[in-house]
């Protein structure tokens, strides 16, 4: 019973008062590095905070998009070359829980998404497309140096379902970026 009362007291302290609740939106951009080809890309994020800015806990919903591209040219002897272009589009939704600790906000979350992989070559027999659903878990930290601008770093691990032509079923990535909060 004592534990229950302690938890209820903490929750009441951390939940926002009715007059302090304000919607908080953020738009973010990031440079992302993953451990599968294509390895480098860019990301966009849109977040909506579900609690006010004046609370220790921060519950947020995020929509994100990432784009990775790589072109490889291979010369085999005199006058023979093969070109390959790989594109990955990544769309997802996630929920995060953060803790405001002064200028640092560590957070963790989980989500789902769709990964669209496309490889085009000069010869059609080597081209293919594959769409895979995934779930992911991530953690990171956001740094509020100026009230509107917040740089961040995040590590995300994704697990794919139904990979058929691809030789991997999980992808890890690290993202460096910046949020504009309003």
Residue 129 located in a structural domain: yes
Provide the pLDDT for residue 165. Answer: 57
| 84-96 pLDDT, tens digit each | 888 999 999 999 9
Q: Are strands 24-34 and 40-49 parallel, antiparallel or unpaired?
A: antiparallel
Residue 38 DSSP SS3? coil
Question: Which of 19-28, 65-74, 113-122, 170-179 is predicted least confidently?
Answer: 19-28
Q: In the structure encoding, which two tokens stand for residue 13, read together?
A: 């302290």
**Dihedral sign computed on CA atoms, order 52, 148, 63, 100:** negative
Considering the chain, what percentage of its residues have pLDDT values greater than 70?
80
Residue 169 located in a structural domain: yes
pLDDT tier at 21, thresholds 50, 70, 90: very low
Count the Cβ atoms, other than its own, within 10 Å of residue 50.
Answer: 13
Based on the structure, what is the number of domains in the chain?
A: 1
Provide the pLDDT for residue 19. Answer: 38
Judged against a pLDDT cut of 80, whether residue 78 lies above it is answered with no
pLDDT tier at 9, thresholds 50, 70, 90: low
pLDDT tier at 79, thresholds 50, 70, 90: confident
Q: What does the alpha-carbon distance between residue 102 and residue 100 come to, in Å, rounded to a whole number?
A: 6
Phi-psi region of 80 (alpha: psi -120 to 50; beta: other; left: phi over 0): beta
Q: Which CATH number covers residue 94? A: 2.40.160.20
Q: What is the mean pLDDT of the chain?
A: 83
Residue 148 located in a structural domain: yes
Q: Give, rounded to a whole angstrom, the gap between the first and last alpha carbons of the chain.
A: 41
| 107-151 pLDDT, tens digit each | 999 999 999 989 887 776 677 888 889 999 999 999 988 888 999
Q: What does the alpha-carbon distance between residue 127 and residue 83 come to, in Å, rounded to a whole number?
A: 11
Residue 49 located in a structural domain: yes
Identity of the highest mean pLDDT range in 8-12, 17-21, 48-52: 48-52
Residue 134 located in a structural domain: yes
76 compared with 86, residue with greater pLDDT? 86
Provide the pLDDT for residue 96. Answer: 95
Residue-number span of the structural domain to which 124 is assigned = 23-181
Residue 40 located in a structural domain: yes
Q: In the structure encoding, which two tokens stand for residue 84, read together?
A: 């390959």
Residue 83 located in a structural domain: yes
Residue 4 located in a structural domain: no
């Amino acid at each position: 019973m004592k534990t229950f009362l302690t938890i209820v007291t903490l929750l009441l302290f951390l939940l926002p008062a009715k007059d302090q609740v304000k919607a908080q939106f953020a738009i973010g951009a990031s440079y992302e590095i993953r451990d599968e080809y294509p390895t480098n890309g860019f990301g966009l994020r849109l977040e909506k905070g579900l609690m006010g800015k004046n609370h220790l806990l921060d519950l947020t919903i995020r929509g994100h998009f990432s784009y990775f591209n790589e072109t490889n040219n291979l010369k085999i002897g005199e006058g023979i070359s093969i070109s390959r272009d790989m594109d990955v589009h990544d769309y997802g939704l996630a929920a995060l829980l953060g803790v405001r600790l002064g200028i640092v906000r560590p957070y963790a979350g989980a989500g789902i998404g769709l990964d669209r992989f496309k490889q085009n070559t000069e010869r059609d027999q080597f081209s293919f497309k594959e769409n895979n659903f995934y779930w992911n878990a991530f953690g990171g930290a956001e740094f509020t140096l100026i009230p509107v601008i917040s740089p961040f770093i995040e590590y995300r691990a994704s697990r794919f379902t139904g990979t058929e032509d691809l030789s991997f079923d999980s992808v890890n990535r690290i993202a460096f970026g910046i949020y504009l909060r309003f």
